[in-house]
Amino acid sequence: MDLDMKDVVALCKRRGFIFPASDIYGGINGFWDYGPLGVELKNNLRDLWWKAMVVTPPIGPDGTPVQIVGLDSSIIQNPKAWVASGHVGGFSDPMVDCRETKKRYRADHLIQRIADKVKVLADIGSEEIKIKGKVAKAFAFPIDATNEEMDRRLKKLGVKKGWISHDGTMPELAFADFSKQDLETLVGPDASEPGTLTEPKEFNLMFESHAGPVQSDDNKVYLRPETAQGIFLNFKNVLDSSRVRMPFGIAQIGKAFRNEVNPRNFIFRSREFEQMEMEWFCHPDEVEKWRDFWFEERTKFWRAVGLASDNLQMRKHGDDELSHYAKEGLGTSDIEYKFPFTAPDFGELEGIAHRCDFDLTAHQEHSGQKLEYMDPVTQEKYMPHVIEPAAGLTRGALALICEAYTVDESRPSGVYLNFHPALAPKKAAILPLSAKEEHVGPATKLYLALREEFAVDLDIKQNIGKRYARQDEIGTPYCFTIDNDTIEDGTVTVRDRNTMAQERISMDKVAEYLREKMKPAGANQEKEAA
């Protein structure tokens, strides 16, 4: 059956995974809070990523582990950094609305074509093109409109042939160059009369604040829209302090902020979110090798944490959707997940981008600091290129929840969360079969021993069925039940979340049992074992 997002959202709230931010004040659009279980899940994913990147980075093509160091840079940086990165300019996409058709266009995606003839005629007042009684002097078309499409549209609007043409005598103007008054005589791409387009509206997708208690333009600062820039800003510091040599990576996990026009789809597109980014610096000649390497590693990671189904797919960006930093080079490939709200389409989970030397070059120019790399062996001096695997931590957590959400009418809870044990917020629940001391005593002892190593729950209240059901709903993979046999022979029942099957194991072996079950999730485990 199709997974309904409403059920997922309800479970997340009911069991304490994700709450609307500022819930008691009616919430705030685009912001979410992670509850007691949500923060565990998110931290587990975060820690596994950190381990896979920084603690036990993968074995490289040459058979030795690659070099990656960690970083935690400030959310607020010198605003010049965002000018250099292109965010101050590039983040502001002027938008134009059509009052008639309610459509919205990016101003830089519209062009206007004005026929000289029309202009002249209008100027001398002898003849005019009138549409619905209004003077039309110019027509806006999508930037990719073909001549045929433009002809067809003009004909439909009743413009006589010969009055206006696209034979090269008709100038093209960028929308932004048009004056406010000219808008009155401009016909929108889908409108039936002139004058329906609004002035371009500035959209700045970066959050602004002020460093210091007095607000002025002089101390305006931005909340980072991506963690990546903090890495580029520290490239030289890391290089000078960390004994790293090309190629190497700098990894960072942290919050990022984007003033999304329209936050949607639960935590998928929120205004405050968390990223896991690694900038891999390498020689320009090696980018292809490393792009392929990281693409494969990152795919393995997502499969290892539990996104092993057909819901995961890989997609290369088309040329039309490339970022400003990826216009040259190898482009961007996405790892995508089929979320319930995107199905049958997929939503981006991680992008592996070739950022070229865009960022370091830009920061070198703007800061005046030399950021080139001098190879100590070859004495070659060059600007490193960057392969960037950039993943959404919060999106990842959402994908994990969606993937884990399993409807099972046959069990009391009706649903269980099939998390990989390493990701599950609680690894196990310790359940005394009855609330009597002979059960509670050993259960408490087991709980105290296990909690040193695992996130476990001790649950004494209510009957055993209710307790199993509750653990199912929060995705606890194992329940250890203490009963009369435990007192006799020191064994406990292990109840498996997915199969509901039970087996008895010695109480001494419980920790080892859990340790074993946690194992396979590390993305680099297989290679290490080999």
Partner RNA sequence: GCGGGCGUAGUUCAAUGGUAGAACGUCAGCCUUCCAAGCUGAAUAUGCCGGUUCGAUCCCGGUCGCCCGCUCCA
Residues between 440 and 479 with contacts to RNA, criterion CB under 7 A: 461-466, 468-470, 472-473
Residues 68-97 binding RNA (CB under 7 A) are 86-87, 90-91, 93, 95, 97
CA distance 171 to 186: 14
Which residue lies nearer to RNA by CB, 195 or 392?
A: 392
Q: Both tokens of residue 78? A: 């010198």
Which string of x and - marks every residue 317-346 that binds RNA (by CB under 7 A)?
A: ----x-xxx---------------x-----
CA distance 56 to 38: 25
Beta strands in 238-309 (DSSP E): 248-257, 272-282
Shortest distance in whole angstroms from residue 389 CB to RNA? 16
* Piece in contact with RNA (CB under 7 A), picked from 56-64, 287-295, 443-451, 485-493: 485-493
Which residue lies nearer to RNA by CB, 225 or 329?
A: 225
Phi and psi at residue 444, to the nearest 5°: -65, -40
Residue closest to 490 by CA, chosen among 479, 472, 511, 504: 504
Shortest distance in whole angstroms from residue 275 CB to RNA? 9
Which residue lies nearer to RNA by CB, 77 or 323?
A: 323
Contact status: 411 vs RNA (CB under 7 A): yes
Shortest distance in whole angstroms from residue 19 CB to RNA? 9
Shortest distance in whole angstroms from residue 161 CB to RNA? 30
Residue 357, SS3 per DSSP: coil
Contact status: 407 vs RNA (CB under 7 A): no
In whole angstroms, how far apart are CA 50 and each of 71, 251, 256, 393, 448? Answer: 11, 8, 17, 11, 28
Shortest distance in whole angstroms from residue 363 CB to RNA? 15
Cis peptide leading into residue 432 (ω within 30°):
no
Which residue lies nearer to RNA by CB, 171 or 414?
A: 414
Q: Where are the alpha helices (DSSP H) in 378-509?
A: 393-404, 437-450, 464-474, 484-489
Contact status: 425 vs RNA (CB under 7 A): no
Residue closest to 429 by CA, chosen among 466, 400, 395, 401: 466
Residues 224-283 binding RNA (CB under 7 A) are 225-226, 258, 260-266, 269
Are residues 451 and 439 in contact, defined by beta-carbon separation less than 8 angstroms?
no
Which residue lies nearer to RNA by CB, 248 or 268?
A: 268
Phi and psi at residue 392, to the nearest 5°: -90, 115
Shortest distance in whole angstroms from residue 129 CB to RNA? 28
In the sheet where 172-174 sits, what is the strand order? 172-174, 110-113, 138-142, 186-187
Are residues 305 and 48 in contact, defined by beta-carbon separation less than 8 angstroms?
yes
Candidates 137, 355, 395, 495: give the one binding RNA (CB under 7 A): 495
Residues 301-320 binding RNA (CB under 7 A) are none
Residue 391, SS3 per DSSP: strand
Contact status: 207 vs RNA (CB under 7 A): no
Which residue lies nearer to RNA by CB, 102 or 161?
A: 102
Which residue lies nearer to RNA by CB, 104 or 119?
A: 104
Shortest distance in whole angstroms from residue 463 CB to RNA? 4
Shortest distance in whole angstroms from residue 290 CB to RNA? 21
Shortest distance in whole angstroms from residue 50 CB to RNA? 22
In whole angstroms, how far apart are CA 55 and each of 92, 230, 352, 433? Answer: 38, 20, 21, 40
Are residues 266 and 342 in contact, defined by beta-carbon separation less than 8 angstroms?
no
Which residue lies nearer to RNA by CB, 263 or 421?
A: 263
Q: Both tokens of residue 420? A: 């990989």
Which residue lies nearer to RNA by CB, 8 or 118?
A: 8
CA distance 507 to 505: 6
Contact status: 513 vs RNA (CB under 7 A): no
Residues 109-138 binding RNA (CB under 7 A) are 109
Which residue lies nearer to RNA by CB, 56 or 265?
A: 265
Candidates 220, 435, 489, 508: give the one binding RNA (CB under 7 A): 435
Shortest distance in whole angstroms from residue 165 CB to RNA? 27
Shortest distance in whole angstroms from residue 103 CB to RNA? 6
Are residues 288 and 108 in contact, defined by beta-carbon separation less than 8 angstroms?
no
Which residue lies nearer to RNA by CB, 151 or 226?
A: 226
Are residues 383 and 357 in contact, defined by beta-carbon separation less than 8 angstroms?
yes
Q: Both tokens of residue 128? A: 């005019």
Burial class of residue 12, CB neighbours in 10 A (0-12, 13-18, 19+): buried
Number of residues located near RNA, criterion CB under 7 A: 72
